[in-house]
């Protein structure tokens, strides 16, 4: 039975993805991490990002950077929800540094918790935020700056209500950015299973994404923030893990076949308390399994929570770049 499943997964893996289904040119991508996604910049620790970080990321061979940004805690009251000018300037400095370094940029709204808890009550606020973000970045290159309406829908925001809740935000973006790529991830923290029922808005410049932290018992062992806390000691790489990964690749192939759209992985990674050789093994397994589909992979993250780069030692953690298909950087 297990051999049959592995055999069918191998057959599926050999089927080429049609050209028309190619998605955004994400390629090797890295999330900047938590720096801008807490209520206060660097509220969750780490060094402040500066323009040199984006040159460092580009020099390592990454094509794209995903910059998670919390907007709602830097915005005023209804109806305008005016974003603090110092905050949008700070984000613009980093976005422009990334663009100037030759990187593609994914700019999202991250951790807008009110939206997930009560989507209808926060729908207009989401649109007001995107009106301002859209206007501010409208003149940046359409081919290289992409918006993501909200990170990881969860709680009350799900695949059923998502198109309706996102509609005003998308219209707000389209008022100033008629054909900029806009990224949408599905319910339940955008896990791979969300793709099966993800209904995208009817717009030619919408791109689907999903996040991949499976098996969660491995990637989030020792982490204190999930409700579902996982004990340490889970090792990655057995036959069951390989079978799960092959099955998940098959789900993504089925999604591409059904919709004609190729999603990319907006987040994937393993927590830093896990031994480095295990983090490398996991990252390589995920990269290698999904690469034949031609989909991009944004690893989580640059220097904090699940770091790839050690700012104190000024070096990329050994093995992590190679796991992403990039050349290793010497000591």
Residues that bind ligand BGC (CB under 6 A): 34, 37, 110, 151-152, 267, 300, 305
CA distance 147 to 58: 20
Distance of CA 231 to the CA centre of its chain: 25
Q: CB of 110: closest distance to ligand BGC in angstroms? A: 6
Cβ proximity to ligand BGC, 107 vs 246, nearer residue: 107
Q: Compute the least distance from the CB of residue 331 to ligand BGC, in Å.
A: 27
- Tokens representing residue 86 in the block: 């110092």
C-beta of 110 vs 122, nearer to ligand BGC = 110
Q: Report CA-CA distances (Å) from 176 to 79, 173, 179, 219.
A: 19, 6, 9, 39
Give the C-alpha separation, 82 to 80, whole Å.
Answer: 5
CB 91 within 8 A of CB 36: yes
Between 172 and 324, CB nearer to ligand BGC: 324
The distance of closest approach from Cβ of residue 176 to ligand BGC in the complex, given in angstroms and rounded to an integer, is 27
**Closest CB to ligand BGC among 32 and 63?**
32
- Tokens read off for 182: 């806009």
Which residue number, 13 or 44, has a Cβ lying nearer to ligand BGC?
44
Please state the closest distance from residue 34 (CB atom) to ligand BGC, in A.
5
Of residues 177 and 209, the one with the C-beta less far from ligand BGC? 209
CB of 266 to ligand BGC, least distance (A): 9
Query: 165 Cβ partners below 8 Å, 6+ apart?
Result: 115, 119, 120, 123, 126, 157
Spell out a b/e string for 228-246, using b for 16 or more CB atoms within 10 Å of the CB, else e: eebeeebebeeeebeeebb
**CB closer to ligand BGC out of 152 and 214:** 152
Q: Which is nearer to ligand BGC, 101 or 267 (CB)?
A: 267
Quote the least distance from Cβ 189 to ligand BGC, whole Å: 7
Shortest separation between residue 97's beta carbon and ligand BGC, angstroms: 21
The residue whose Cβ lies closest to ligand BGC is 305
Paired with 232 in beta bridges are: none
User: Quick one: CA dihedral 125, 128, 130, 132, positive or negative?
Assistant: negative
Q: Give 283's contacts (C-beta < 8 A, 6+ positions apart).
A: 268, 269, 270, 299, 320, 323, 324
> CB within 8 A of 258, min separation 6: which ones?
none
Is residue 237 within 8 A of residue 281, CB to CB? The reply is: yes
Tokens 């996102």 identify what position?
A: 166
CB 90, min distance to ligand BGC, A: 18
């Amino acid at each position: 039975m297990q051999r049959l499943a592995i055999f069918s997964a191998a057959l599926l893996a050999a089927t080429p993805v049609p050209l028309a289904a190619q998605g955004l040119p994400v390629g090797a991508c890295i999330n900047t991490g938590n720096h801008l996604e807490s209520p206060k910049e660097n509220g969750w620790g780490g060094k402040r990002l500066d323009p040199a970080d984006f040159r460092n990321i580009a020099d390592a061979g990454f094509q794209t950077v995903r910059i998670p940004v919390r907007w709602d805690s830097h915005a005023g009251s209804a109806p305008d929800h005016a974003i603090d000018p110092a905050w949008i300037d700070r984000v613009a400095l980093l976005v422009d540094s990334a663009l100037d370094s030759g990187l593609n940029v994914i700019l999202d709204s991250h951790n807008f918790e009110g939206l997930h808890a009560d989507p209808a009550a926060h729908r207009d606020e989401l649109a007001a935020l995107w009106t301002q973000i859209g206007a501010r970045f409208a003149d940046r290159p359409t081919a290289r700056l992409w918006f993501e309406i909200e990170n990881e829908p969860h709680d009350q925001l799900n695949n059923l209500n998502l198109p309706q809740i996102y509609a005003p935000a998308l219209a707000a973006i389209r008022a100033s950015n008629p054909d900029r790529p806009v990224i949408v991830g599905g319910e339940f923290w955008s896990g791979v299973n969300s793709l099966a029922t993800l209904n995208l808005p009817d717009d030619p410049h919408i791109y689907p994404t999903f996040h991949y932290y499976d098996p969660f018992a491995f990637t989030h062992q020792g982490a204190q923030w999930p409700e579902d806390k996982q004990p340490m000691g889970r090792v990655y790489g057995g036959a069951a893990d390989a079978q799960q990964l092959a099955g998940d690749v098959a789900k993504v192939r089925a999604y591409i076949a059904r919709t004609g759209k190729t999603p990319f992985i907006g987040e994937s990674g393993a927590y830093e308390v896990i031994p480095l050789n295990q983090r490398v093994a996991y990252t390589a397994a995920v990269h290698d399994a999904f690469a034949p589909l031609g989909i991009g992979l944004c690893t989580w993250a640059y220097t904090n929570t699940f770091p790839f780069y050690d700012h104190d030692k000024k070096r990329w953690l050994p093995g992590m770049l190679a796991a992403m298909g990039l050349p290793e950087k010497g000591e």
